[in-house]
Structures are given as C-alpha cells and as structure tokens.
Chains A and B, each alone.
Chain A
C-alpha cells in the first residue's frame, strides 16, 4: 500500500477539496484587490505620495522619536486607569444605605465620562484648564492629555470590573460575610480576585485600544508619532510619514492582540477543564 503523506493524513478527501477551494478563492479575491489598486490610473502618483522609500527613511527618526512619547503617555495612562477604575467599581458595588452617596457618585462618574466623546474631553481639559491659571494645577498638556484618557478609560474599565464582580456567584459573598469578614474584606479577599480573573481578556482588549487612542493627544500639539508625521507631511507634502507611524502602531498592537487571543483561549481551555 502506498504511504499517505502527512497532508493527506490530515485532510480527508472532503477536507482537501475544501482547502483547495479556500486557497483558490483567496488568491482570486486578494489578487483581484491588489490588481485593482496597482492598475488604477493614479497608482504611480499615490505610490510616490504614500510609499516613497526615500521619504520613509527621512521621516523615520522624527516619527520614532514621537512614538517614544506615545509610549510614555501610554505608560502614565496604564498606571492610573486600572487603579481609578477599580476604586469606581468598588464604590459602585458597596451595599447598604450608608454607601448610597458613594454609589451615586460612582454612577455619575461613569455616566458622564463614558458619555463624552474622548476627543472632546481631550480638548476640554487640554485647552480649557491651563488658561484658568489655577495655582497648583499643572499646565503641561501631557498631564491634561493623560488625565482625559484616564477619566474616559477608567469609566469604561470600571464597568468591565463591575461586570466581573457581578459574575461572581452571590454565594461567594455570603460565605465570606458568614466568616465575619467586613464588606471590604469580602471584596478584597473573596470577590475581587475572582472578578478580575473573569475580566482579564476584556481588560487586555482595552489596553490594545488605549494604545492607539494615545495618538488622539496629538490634537494638543504633543509631538507624538502622529503629530511628528503630520509635521513631516506639512514640510514635504508627502504622506509616507503616516505609513511610518502606522507601522509603528501595528508593531505594538498586533503582538498585543495576538497575546490577548492566546491568553483568552488558554483561559477558556483551563476553565472548561476545571468544569469536568
């Protein structure tokens, strides 16, 4: 009998046909799209405008420099958002009439900061607060830009935490309280560790999106990657600098997204194993 190759062992007759069909259709679709772009009447002009190797090299240092500012802003945002969000989520999940004002404040916070488009919040804080000239408040646009990000993102993230807290069975809270733990102790030792584990994938998705939204702070004149690319474009009337910025963002966000996916599926596998 003829030995079957590894491929045919993997794919039975039907599977092989399917794979072939998928390959052919992919080639047709993507090949068609590429051909459409390359044969478009103005392709050569666009290529010079967006894909110029000369401009790529020339823009690279300034854009990379700017990207380091993105990294710095991202760092400060990542330091504040999880803490702020957790405080809001805790405030919102406290029970009893004594905590009513705290709960109301937390609800107002999430409603307001989730309700304002991020770009408007950046404008309002970045351009609105420094002219007030209040002593003690910094006027650094970096500070106000990160504050805007933190306010908006912490409101969203607080809701993610809260969904995680709600997903922990009520019986876990009961048995923690039954041990004589206070409400805060029950949250800290029994509820939150499980709640946070529930929402790690959702939190990591927020990180991916935050990483890109840092670029919005360019509107405050911060010379981060997008702003640097814009300046280069203004000087040379060539868009290739944007391509540099795009590639830099992708270099961070694609691995991050892959990691989130990997973590999520590993977590799911572990849970379904535990359920058996």
Chain B
C-alpha cells in the first residue's frame, strides 16, 4: 500500500515544562480531509505548527509522503514549500497589498517570475471573490476577505497538503460562511487538508475522518458520523455534549 500523505508517529512536544503533545499517532491519506477537534489546549494547533516545522518536536517522527521530515539534515524550507498553512488570525503582511502578500512566497521561495506569479495569483483571487481587492492593504479588508486572501497565499505553491488552524475562529459569525465555502471547494477538488476546528457542523459535512484530541493524545479517530454521533469514549461524549449545549452542533 502507498504511504499515507501525512503520518505522525508518537509525536511529543513540550513548551517549557508543559507537555502539549504526549504521543500523537495520526495518518492522513491522499485526498483526505481530516478535522482535529477537542477542547482548547488539547494540542490541535501545535500539531499543525509541528507538521509545518514551525515548532520542533521533542520525540517521535513526522512523515510527509513517506519521507521523514523531522530528522536531522532535513531542509525545513523545502518542507514548508510543499505544505501550506493558514492561521487563525490571518497573519497577512500588514505592509503589503493583497497581490504582494499572495505572490511573496512564490516569487522569493519558489523563484517564480513576477508576471507568472501575479497572473496565477490574479486568477485565484478572482475565483475566491477577491478580484477587486488585489491592490488593497489588509487593514482595508474584512476578516473574511483577509482569511480568503491568506488561503490563496497558502495555495500559491500548489501544496500537497494544506493545514488550516481554526481559520474561522477569529471571524464575525456572518463571515464564517464565505471562508467555509472556500474550504469546501478545495475539498471537492481533492486537496489533502488537515483542519483544527470548532465548527462541528462543518466537520461533519466536509471531513473524511475526525480525530478527537484530549490532553495531547488522539483519543478517537474515525469517520465523522461515528465520532460526532456515536463516540465510544466518555471524554468525547462529554466534549460533544458541551459543544451541543453551546449551540455549535
């Protein structure tokens, strides 16, 4: 059988003396959309940051397409060019307009010529409804527009894997839909994605598998219908109950 697109094997990570990941095992197949759910502080974001090598893991192993990316001698920049990440707070470069934000990585990290990068970016921005925002600065855009621009930025290098870190959590409720719409479209095109999310309804709809995380471990991993409707573990049931009480499912 072919290697999974992404595999985490006993991944540990601590910040100071705070253990955040205590042995994460997770496999994501090609074209899968995996949603990471769980209470805040359970390690969802840390997993994504570790996969993009923005944080270094303390123990374990991460493989991208069968290749170990957490060992010595790995060029982190090469890995990051193959993986896209979108952050909760957009993190667009404040001093650049949308077009420059979106093309920076392609031009400087991938060495794509300016006109080629701008043409590709222009097409994608139009597709995601940002055609008239190309020369705007981030502080002139709504949260939803900024996040869509950030998604385009992450997609520019045709990544084999897209990581989305609670990309709707910083948005006003009425803007959540437009961003989820973009993700749904990407899922429909078969892009492999890992999402940390609090949007359970969306997870049920878009995910091929859902992983419930608790205290730095994957407690349950399976199809959304199973994890979100008939979880085995009491912890998962308890979490989902609280989510339902908060009206998010």
Contact = CB atoms under 8 A, between A and B. Distances in A.
A172 B94 contact: yes
Contacts of A179: 80-81, 104-105, 108-109, 153, 157
B77 A182 contact: yes
A175 interface: yes
Contacts of A138: none
A212 interface: no
A185 interface: yes
B222 to A, nearest CB: 29
Q: Quick one: which of B89, B95, B154 has the most chain A CB within 10 A?
A: B95
A65 B58 CA distance: 67
A79 B169 CA distance: 47
Given A171-B87, A194-B95, A274-B139, A177 B108 contact: no
Interface in A151-196: 171-172, 174-182, 185, 189-190, 193-194
Nearest to A192: B95
B93 A172 contact: yes
Given A174-B54, A189-B104, A190-B104, A181 B93 contact: no
B87 A189 contact: no
A244 B54 CA distance: 60
A181 B105 contact: yes
8 contacts: A171-B87, A175-B91, A175-B92, A179-B105, A179-B109, A180-B105, A181-B105, A275-B139
Interface of A: 171-172, 174-182, 185, 189-190, 193-194, 197, 274-275
Given A175-B85, A180-B157, 10 more contacts: A175-B87, A175-B150, A178-B80, A179-B153, A180-B81, A181-B108, A181-B109, A185-B109, A190-B93, A194-B93
